[in-house]
Structures are given as structure tokens and as C-alpha cells.
């Protein structure tokens, strides 16, 4: 193995993923049980449709829930975590692949490389940073992969109102705003992102 790169293959994996979705979300669960419910719903959908989850590699909070539910539904999970956060975020050694990298920059770069599309769930400052970085990269032309925000319980209402203000004040254009798709329901938004990434509408798969 190269330094800091640990891979745990799943011997039961029998099919290649049909798509790869990077999910950004909190390492906490938040105060409302609905946030946990939506993370489980997202992971279950990915797994049931033969997809691959790419995420920050932690076992805590919404991160752990989306990973566990993806695995439970038959999907594959690629976790990517900096060595400094292995203990703080309880690196999830049950991932199909777990990559331990040197820095946050390495983490975000590898997550972006391994994903066909990106989705932000509720989270904190780390989630915001990841969302804005991949959004910026898209508007600069570094990639053209779909980016989505799942606005559960109106969590991102304030952010979206602020973005409208930024547009109205002339610091962003409408086309930059429209580079991110916002939805309040998980399944339609997930299907939209996967299709926008160039994949046929994914059919639900039955576990073998």
C-alpha cells in the first residue's frame, strides 16, 4: 500500500456500480430526527439503485448513517478521510474502500475525482465549504458534474435567500446560481442528478 491509502475490498460485490454519487453531510445528526431519516433515505436509494456512495469516510452523524444505509441496501461505499480526522470522526472501516489521505485538500480532490455528481445534505461548516468549492469548480469549468442541495425541513432556505441577494446585488449571475439544483424531496432530486450525469434513469435492484 502507498502511504495513508488503505483499501478494504468487499468480497461480496458482484456488480460494478451503475453511478457514483458524492454526498456531503454533517458529522452530527442535528436536533430533528428528520435529518437522520433523510440520510438513511438517501443511502438506501443509492444502494437500491446499484450506486456507489463517495463520502468523507466517517462513522459519526449523518455521514455514518448514509454510509450504513447504502451498504445495507446493497451499494458500495468509498470513504475518504484525512489521517488527522481518523479518530475524531471514527473512520468507517466497514467501507467497501477506505482511503486515508494526508490533507483535506487530498480528501476533496479524490472525492471529486471518484464522483459522477454531488449532493449536499444538512451539515455544518465543512459541508458548506465542500458544497461551495465544488460549485465554484463547476462555474470555472474544472468539471461539469451535476451539483444538488437537498433542502430538508427548509434547512437551506436562509442560504438560498442569501444567494438570491448576492445575485440581486450583482456579485453572481443567474446562470451561476442555476449550476446547483435544489430540491426538498430526496428521490426526485437523486434521480435528477444521476440522469444529468449522463446515466439512464436507474432501476431499483433487488438484493441477491
CATH number at residue 79: 3.40.50.450
Q: DSSP 3-state assignment of 101?
A: strand
pLDDT per residue of the chain (208 residues) written in tens, 0 to 9: 333 444 444 444 446 899 999 999 999 999 999 999 999 999 999 999 999 999 999 999 999 999 999 999 999 999 999 998 887 768 898 999 999 999 999 999 999 999 999 999 999 999 999 999 999 999 999 999 999 999 999 999 999 999 999 999 999 999 999 999 999 999 999 999 999 999 987 788 765 4
Residue 201 lies in a domain: no
Residue 182 lies in a domain: yes
Residue 94 lies in a domain: yes
Counting the structural domains of the chain, the total is 1
pTM of the model: 0.91
**Containing domain of residue 81, as a range?**
20-195
Residue 11 lies in a domain: no
Q: Put residue 20 in one of left, alpha, beta given phi > 0 → left and psi -120 to 50 → alpha.
A: beta
Residue 5 lies in a domain: no
Residue 200 lies in a domain: no
Supply angle C-alpha 37, 43, 44, rounded to 5: 85
Residue 76 lies in a domain: yes
According to the model, what pLDDT value does residue 200 have? 84
Residue 1 lies in a domain: no
Alpha helices in the chain (DSSP H): 33-48, 61-72, 104-114, 125-140, 157-168, 174-177, 186-196
Helices 33-48 and 186-196 cross at an angle (nearest 10°) of: 40
Amino acid at each position: 500500500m502507498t502511504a495513508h491509502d488503505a483499501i478494504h475490498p468487499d468480497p461480496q460485490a458482484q456488480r460494478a456500480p451503475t453511478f457514483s454519487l458524492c454526498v456531503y453531510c454533517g458529522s452530527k445528526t442535528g436536533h430533528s430526527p428528520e435529518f437522520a431519516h433523510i440520510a438513511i433515505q438517501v443511502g438506501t436509494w443509492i444502494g437500491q439503485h446499484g450506486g456507489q456512495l463517495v463520502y468523507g469516510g466517517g462513522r459519526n452523524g449523518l455521514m455514518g448513517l448514509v454510509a450504513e444505509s447504502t451498504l445495507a441496501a446493497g451499494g458500495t461505499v468509498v470513504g475518504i478521510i484525512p489521517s488527522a480526522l481518523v479518530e475524531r470522526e471514527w473512520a468507517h472501516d466497514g467501507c467497501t474502500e477506505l482511503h486515508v489521505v494526508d490533507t483535506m485538500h487530498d480528501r476533496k480532490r479524490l472525492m471529486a475525482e471518484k464522483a459522477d455528481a454531488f449532493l449536499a445534505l444538512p451539515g455544518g461548516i465543512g459541508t458548506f465549504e465542500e458544497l461551495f468549492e465544488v460549485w465554484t469548480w463547476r462555474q470555472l469549468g474544472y468539471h461539469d458534474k451535476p451539483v444538488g442541495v437537498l433542502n430538508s425541513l427548509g434547512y437551506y432556505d436562509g442560504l438560498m435567500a442569501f444567494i438570491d441577494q448576492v445575485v440581486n446585488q450583482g456579485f453572481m449571475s443567474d446562470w451561476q446560481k442555476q449550476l446547483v439544483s435544489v430540491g426538498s424531496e430526496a428521490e426526485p432530486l437523486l434521480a435528477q442528478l444521476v440522469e444529468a450525469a449522463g446515466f439512464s434513469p436507474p432501476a431499483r435492484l433487488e438484493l441477491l
